[in-house]
Structure 1
Amino acid sequence: MQQAGIPTGSTRPFGYKDDKRTLEPAEAAALRKTVERILTGASPRAIAADCNKQGLTTTRGNGWSKETVKQVLRNPRICGYRSRKVREFNPETGTESVRVEPVLDDDGEPVKGQWSSIISVTDWEAVTEIIGRNPEPGDAYNARKYLGSGILRCDKNGCGSHLRAQKAPASRKKPEGFFYYTCPDKRSGYGCGGVRISGPETDEALKMLVISKHEEEAEDRQATGVPEEWEGENELARIREDIDDWTERREQRLVSKERFFAFLAKSEATERRLVNERNEWRRPVLRAKGEPIDLRGEWGDLDFVEKRAYVEKTLLTVLVASAIRLGGPVRDRLTPIYRGED
């Protein structure tokens, strides 16, 4: 049944009707929009939240989570490939993991399913590069508890140490949970102890730096023309034609096994490289063509790990200067250094 591309299972897949072959228009459209949003920068968690707000449920009638979004997107059936579940047992941890992969035919090619595809193979490859092809062992964990940890550095001459988050002592009569970012004391051997700044105000400033940079880059992408076709498409097509040609010649015994497999190893390595390059090309192109994510509007719906990811992706570091006057704007003390800048 796998080799014939016949669908199985008791529950209909999301995006398809009960026959598991015919597209369910509304769900298929939602999946296409989800793929577009992932490729243009949205997070699975934000998409799950939007689905739940809209009252869109899974085919079992349940709400969405970031993991169910990833599960649907990882399944190659949405690009027309027959899939199968693979269970792997880890003897060291005593746990079992389950992943979904395309079924391959005798020639090592993905088996086409007996149903309509929702997205292209290229888009499926690109989106799984972003979210990962295999499930994580658990929810992502980030040891950082503060938005600026690992990003903020002391701007005093000769220092440059990372600032540390420190809860305000009770004697300062600050609100519950208030904290500072401080340069470690000289006695610690890690800093100068000469810089301290309000934590909540600094985190708010970091948020605005990230959002402003995101919006600036979105405007630049919209103002810049994008190529209609990836420049390596012809080379990739030629490599695949050569592989097919040599495979046929080998079946006819026109080339030796040694020559054939030597050629195949080299050509498949080139094919993998080109596919990876195409995926890397598609992501910025789709971001330029698609509707940019409204980071300003969605920031409040992101969890801490997702906010940290945006900060780390945008900012290489932020230098924090000493206070010039009491009560001055926190933003005036920050010098952002963005990733990708010289």
Structure 2
Amino acid sequence: MTTTSILPDRPLGIALIGTGFMGKCHAMAWRNVSAVFGGAHHRLEVLSDVTADSADRFARQFGFAHATARWEEAVNDPSVDVVSITAPNGLHRPMAEAALKAGKHVWLEKPMALTIADAESMAATAAIHPNQKTMLGYNYLRSPAFQAARNLIRQGGIGKPVAFRGVYDEDYSADPLLPWSWRMTHEGGGLGALGDLGCHLVSHMLALMGPVADVVAQTHVAIPTRPSPEGPKVVENEDSALALIRFISGAHGSFATSRVARGRKCRLQWEVHGSEGTIVFDQENMNELWVHRSGEAGFVRHLTGPDQPDFAAFCPAPGHNFGFNEQKIIEARDLLIAIGGAPNTGPDFAYGLQIERVIHAMANSNGERIKLA
């Protein structure tokens, strides 16, 4: 069965809530997914933003037919089949649950929710609306190099996985003069580095190593207050986190994430040690995969190319680099395939709850062991 044959056989109506970095990324994915993978060209119906003026402006820029400052109108519009949600974290639960109850499919940016209770409610709502498909925005799972690495591990290419080491560092909050924002609060942002960055690393870790049995972690606020027009305000969530992990398989791992790591831009880096080899990946060099197998002197560098999953749909030539937005187009394709009736490769809301449980366990550990299974 080809990909095209399991895509929806009719154009779907799309609503987009939010117009920031990821909102624009979703808009580009919806505009390009059919050009890359075939199938129907979907209708960009409704765009919602915080004001009517900004909604009108971005609707014209992104190519949506209608604009609104009320997200409820986008969710309930009868012309809409799928709702893309890229709004601030604190709005994820009400928007996603309203969309599911309105009979819409939901594509939601990570993190899934502010709290475990919110994530559990969202997963429960999705479970009682099985005809509505859900997808969480863990686009780094769609990198051809990552997909190739996961397949190699599943096929026993490095033997039995025995250890995982992972880091996700950025420096967008490293400047102590960076103004305070909602992202630094529990009410608006939820978790800090764990919710913004670490959840991506956990999504990779679970895909490569399987479920987590227990964690021991510590978190740290490196810059306790931030400037604001009203004076210094307290940073409520973590700037960094470290964890030791034991997997149900018996393998062990280490985990680190930071939003204040000077010089790091998107260091989503991990390595998996197996009984017969090692795989190394770094998102800052996302078009390279380094593999060592028993008996070899060192590592072999593998460049992305059409032999890796989904690369050929964009380019027929090896070594021609893949990019961030291409990953999002694959994610849109995977949601469409699920809507078309194929198994949902996710992460859907049920799987997303597993990711949330891991990062919240890390946030709550304070050096104590927390069992997850």
Taking structure 1 as the reference length, the TM-score comes to: 0.24
Decide which structure has greater helix share: 1
TM-score (norm: length of structure 2)? 0.23
Kindly name which structure, 1 or 2, has the bigger radius of gyration based on alpha carbons: 1
Q: Which has the higher contact order (CA 8 A, sep 6+)?
A: 2
